[in-house]
Chain A
Amino acid sequence: MSKPADLVQGTLDLLLLKILALDPLHAWAVAQRLKQVSGDILQVSDGSLYPALHKLEQSGWVTAEWKTTEAGRRAKFYSLTPHGREALERETQNWQRLSGAIARVIEIQEV
Chain B
Amino acid sequence: MRFFYTLPLKLRSLLRRNQVERDLEDELAFYLEQRTAHEISLGHTPEEAARIARRALDGMDRQKEACRDARGTQHLENFFADLRFGMRAWRKTPGIWLLATLTLGLGIGANSSIFSIVEAIFRSPLSSLDLTRDVTINAVQSHQGRERAANTLDEYRIWRSMPAFDSVIAYRPHEAVATGIGEPERVAGQLVSPGFFSFLSAQAALGAFPAEAAHLEGALPQIVLSHDYRRNRLNANPAIIGQTLRLDGKPYAIVAVAERDFWFPDTRAAFWMPLAIDPQAHPL
Tell me the A residues contacting B by CB distance below 8 Å: 1-2, 26-28, 45-47, 50-52, 54-55, 57-60, 66, 73-76, 81, 83
B63 within 8 A of A: yes
> Which residue in B5, B34, B57, B67 is a CB contact (below 8 Å) of A54?
B67
Interface string of B54-75 (1 = CB under 8 A from A): 0011100011001101111000
Besides the contacts A47-B66, A74-B26, A76-B27, what 5 more A-B pairs have beta carbons closer than 8 Å? A1-B66, A54-B67, A57-B9, A59-B2, A74-B30
Q: Among A46, A51, A66, point to the contact of B67 (Cβ < 8 A).
A: A51
Kindly list chain A residues whose C-beta atoms are within 8 Å of the C-beta of B58: 1-2, 47
Q: Which of B16-30 contact A (CB under 8 A)?
A: 23, 26-28, 30
- Bound form: Cα–Cα A46–B27 in Å: 13
Q: Given A54-B71, A75-B30 in contact, is the A59-B6 Cβ separation under 8 Å?
A: yes
Give chain B nearest CB distance to A38 CB in angstroms.
18
Chain B's closest residue to A82 (CB) is B5
In the bound assembly, the distance between CA atoms of A81 and B9 in angstroms comes to 14
Task: From known contacts A1-B66, A51-B70, infer whether A60 and B57 are also in contact, taking CB-CB under 8 Å.
Answer: no
Complex contacts, B35 vs chain A, CB 8 Å: 28, 46
Q: Is the interface of B mostly helix, strand, loop or mixed?
A: helix
B31 at the A/B interface (Cβ < 8 Å)?
A: yes
Q: Size range of the interface on B?
A: 20 to 34
CB-CB < 8 A to B27: which residues of A?
26-27, 50, 75-76
| Contact status B28-A50, CB under 8 Å | yes
- When C-beta atoms are compared, the residue in chain B nearest to A69 turns out to be B30
Q: Which A residue's beta carbon lies closest to that of B3?
A: A60
Check if A46 sits within 8 Å of B31, measured CB to CB.
Answer: yes
A46/B71 in contact, CB under 8 A: no
**How many angstroms from the CA of A73 to the CA of B2 in the assembled complex?**
32
Assess A76 versus B6: contact at CB under 8 Å? Given A50-B66, A54-B67.
no
How many whole Å from A20's CB to the nearest CB in chain B?
15
B10 at interface, CB cutoff 8 A: yes
10 A-B interface contacts by CB (under 8 A): A2-B58, A28-B31, A28-B35, A50-B28, A55-B72, A58-B71, A58-B72, A60-B6, A73-B33, A76-B30
Interface residues in B33-61 by Cβ distance below 8 A to A read 33-35, 56-58
